[in-house]
Amino acid sequence: MERKEEVALLKGQAEIWQHLFAFADSMALKCAVELRLADIIHSHSVPITLSQIASAIDSPSPDIPYLSRIMRSLVYKKIFTEHHPSDGGETVLYGPTHTSRWLLHDAELTLAPLVLMENNQWQLAPWHFLSQCVKEGGIAFKKAHGFEMWDFAARNPEFNKIFNDAMACTTKIMMGVLLAEYKDGFGSIGSLVDVGGGTGEMIAEIIKQHPHIKGINFDLPHVVATAPVHEGVSHVGGNMFEAIPNANAILLKCVLHDWSDEHCIKILRNCKKTVPQKTGKVIIVDIVIEKDNDDLFQETRMVYDLLMMAHTTGGKERSELEWKQLLKEGGFPRYKIIKLPSITSIIEAYPE
Give CA 43 to chain center in angstroms.
26
311 catalytic residue (yes or no) = no
d(CA 76, CA 1): 34
Q: Which amino acid is at 58?
A: D
What size, in residues, is the chain? Answer: 352
Of 244, 182, 174, 249, nearest in space to 214 by CA: 249
CA distance 13 to 6: 11
Q: What distance in Å separates the CA atoms of residue 265 and residue 319, rounded to the nearest whole number?
A: 16
Q: Catalytic residue among 145, 235, 257, 311, which?
A: 257
- What is the 8-class DSSP label of residue 252? E
DSSP strand pairing (191-195 vs 249-253): parallel
Torsion of CA 51, 53, 56, 62, to 10 degrees: -60
Distance CA 118, CA 66 (A): 23
Catalytic positions = 257
